[in-house]
Structures are given as structure tokens and as C-alpha cells.
Amino acid sequence: MEICRECGGKIKVIKNKPYKYDECGLDVIIIGLNQYECKKCKELFVEIPRINELHRVLGGILCKEKKGLLEANEIKFLRKDLHLQSKDFAKILGISPSTVSRWKSGLTKRARSSCSCTGSPEPIPSGRWPTFGS
């Protein structure tokens, strides 16, 4: 049995409990992860294997499969997953940084187009997100 890094208490493993992955900023529930809880301080831990691949899949779903408008949290996720500052994200999309700021704050939503998830004439850098479907 492992020891809690916070208090030194014993850790119990929780299996087959859905995990709400709030840390990514999206409404995502992951099934099949081991979660850990300290018996003493009740601190909860989770280890997400291959997290970079998970983020690429989530980005691909947003860009290729989501219908309708992107929400502020989805735009923020995409920008952060690409490791871009707002000004660089705006430059790739051919828009002003203030437009990206309005998207991220939720003041404006951005519609998808057949060109990319953002509607930009410029594609998102290749290789970042997988292609879904044909």
C-alpha cells in the first residue's frame, strides 16, 4: 500500500469509478482510471496515463465532430493544448487578439466551418489533432 504525500497516511485504490476531469476545463468524464484516496486526510489523487494523447483526441473531437458553436472553455482548451499565447493563436486564425479574448471570456462564441474548428482560412498546425472519419 502506498503512502500519502500530504499526510503520510495509507492510500486506498478506487477502481471503476467515473472521474470528472475538471482540470482540462471541459465537461469530460473518464472511465477506467484508478483513483486513490488517503484514508487519513481524504485527499483524492488520480493518474491519467498518456494525457497528451487524451488531449489530442479531445481537440480532434472539438474540431471535427462538435456541432454548433464552440464555447469559451473549448476555445481556451484548444489554444492551451497548442501551447499558444492568445496573440499567436489570433495570428494563426487571422483575427485580432481582442477577438480571441472575447471568445475566451464568453462574450462571443465562434462558429465552426468545414475548413477548421475555428473557421479560420489557415489550418491548425498539422499533426496536433487526429482526423476523424473520412
pLDDT of residue 31: 92
- Secondary structure of residue 31 in the 3-state scheme: coil
pLDDT of residue 70: 78
Measure the CA–CA gap between 112 and 36, rounded to whole angstroms. 39
On the CB side of 104, CA atoms within 13 Å amount to 16
pLDDT of residue 112: 46
| Average pLDDT of the residues of the chain | 80
Measure the CA–CA gap between 44 and 11, rounded to whole angstroms. 9
pLDDT of residue 101: 84
The reply to whether 103 and 72 lie within a common domain is: yes
Measure the CA–CA gap between 114 and 116, rounded to whole angstroms. 6
Cβ atoms within 10 Å of 129's Cβ, excluding its own? 23
pLDDT of residue 39: 95
Would residue 85 count as lying in a domain? yes
The reply to whether 58 and 96 lie within a common domain is: yes
| pLDDT above 80 (res 65) | yes
pLDDT of residue 125: 47
The reply to whether 66 and 103 lie within a common domain is: yes
Cβ atoms 117, 64 nearer than 8 A: yes
**Which range has the worst mean pLDDT, 8-17, 52-61, 120-129?**
120-129
pLDDT of residue 35: 94
The reply to whether 64 and 91 lie within a common domain is: yes
Write out the residue range of the structural domain in which residue 32 sits: 11-46
pLDDT of residue 120: 45
Domain of 72, CATH number, reads 1.10.260
Closest CA to 63 of 120, 123, 117: 117
Would residue 126 count as lying in a domain? no
